[in-house]
Amino acid sequence: MLRARSAFLGTALCLFATSRVSYAAADAAPEAERTVDQILADFIKASGGVAPWKKHRSLAVTMTISVRGLGLNGTATALWTAKGQYLETGDLPNMLSMKRGSDGKRYWSQDPIDGLRWLQGAEAEQAEIVGAWMGYLQLSAHSSGSKIVPAPAAKLECIEVAYKQSTATMYCFDKATHLMTLEQGKKASPQGDTPYITRASDYRDTGGVMMPFVQETTAGPATFVVTVQKAEWDVPTSASQFALPKVGKK
């Protein structure tokens, strides 16, 4: 499910917030006959559409994280509600741990680098995209503009989505399945923007929604591999799980 997909990305990048990676330009020509609206419509349909989401109240996903080549392994979780509440956690023992969440109104983050704080500007906007119920099915709702861009491979078709406060992001879709398989952008943080490339694979039908069970995110010298272990709809939730931290309350 595409909402979970964005959480994998957020967890991996928050765990390595200060990394850098080259933001390579694609060099293949786009297909002029396809429009952004057509590509997104096919993507939404292939992903299962909005109907399955309307049947549920919450979604919980548990994952494992590994850092390729370094022998580091950890866990991650993500929880969304139809009310707009959101909570994600990520932990790499003896390295880093993080939390990010929202009560549906305001977003916060906690990690050993930047501490416990309210998110503002580009960071808050990116968190809102990650934390939204139905997630990537609502790309156009968060966009300030979009266009077709050259794809890095012949089997893909790509769009670039601009946002009001954060940098533009490229999303690429498989021409055969219409599922999203690549995302390239820059994650905002107090240390500056961190370029990343995420590749999604092993899509599975989970309650009528297509979910990538494997995601590989490269940021700087590290590649994080996030694998879904379990996805559960309609898990019990309480407001306290998403409670805003005391720091910053007025």
Asked if 82 and 237 touch (Cβ cutoff 8 Å), the reply is no
- What secondary structure does DSSP assign to 74-85, as a single string? EEEEEEEETTS-
Q: Please report whether residue 49 resides in a domain.
A: yes
Choose among 234, 186, 17: nearest CA to 112.
Answer: 17
Q: Please report which confidence band the pLDDT of residue 5 belongs to, taking 50, 70 and 90 as the band edges.
A: very low
Number of domains in the chain: 1
Listed in sequence order, the residues at least 6 apart from 158 whose beta carbon sits closer than 8 Å to its beta carbon are 26, 30, 148, 149, 150, 151, 152, 170, 171, 172, 173, 182
Q: If you search the block for the tokens 């957020």, which residue do you land on?
A: 10
Mean pLDDT of the residues in the chain: 87
Reported as a single tens digit per residue, the pLDDT across 76-135 is 999 999 999 999 999 999 888 999 999 999 999 999 999 999 999 999 999 999 899 998
Q: What would the pLDDT profile of 134-152 be if each residue is shown by its tens digit? A: 988 888 888 889 999 999 9
In a domain, 248, yes or no: no
What H or E segment, with its residue span, contains residue 231?
Answer: strand 222-233
In 112-193, the DSSP E strands lie at 115-118, 145-149, 156-162, 169-174, 180-187
Tell me whether residue 7 is in a domain. yes
Reading the block at residue 113, the tokens are 């680098």
Q: Is 21 domain-assigned?
A: yes
In a domain, 63, yes or no: yes
Distant-in-sequence, close-in-space partners of 184: CB < 8 Å, separation ≥ 6: 23, 169, 170, 172, 195, 196, 197, 198
Of 6, 2, 3, 5, give the one whose Cα is nearest residue 214.
5
* 250 occurs within a structural domain: no
Quick check: 6 pLDDT over 80? no
Q: What is the torsional sign of CA 247, 12, 120, 133?
A: negative
DSSP letter string, 91-126: EETTTEEEEEEESSS-EEEEETTTEEEE--HHHHHH
pLDDT at 22 over 50: no
Under the banding of pLDDT at 50, 70 and 90, the label for residue 15 is low
- For the cut 90, the answer to whether the pLDDT of residue 25 exceeds it is no
Structure token pair of residue 118: 């309210």
Residue 2 has pLDDT above 50, yes or no: no
* CATH number of the structural domain spanning residue 46: 2.50.20
Percent of the chain surpassing pLDDT 70: 85
Identify whether 247 is part of a domain: no
Question: 3-class SS at 214?
Answer: strand
Q: What is the CA radius of gyration of the chain?
A: 17
pTM for this structure? 0.85
b/e per residue 160-194 (b: at least 16 CB within 10 A): bbebeebebbbbbbbbeebbbbbbbbbbbbeeeeb
Can you give the residue range of the structural domain that contains 32?
A: 2-242
Asked if the structure places residue 186 within a domain, the reply is yes
pLDDT at 244: 75
**pLDDT tens digits, one per residue of 158-201:** 999 999 999 999 999 999 999 999 999 999 999 999 999 999 99
Confidence of residue 32 (pLDDT cuts 50, 70, 90): low
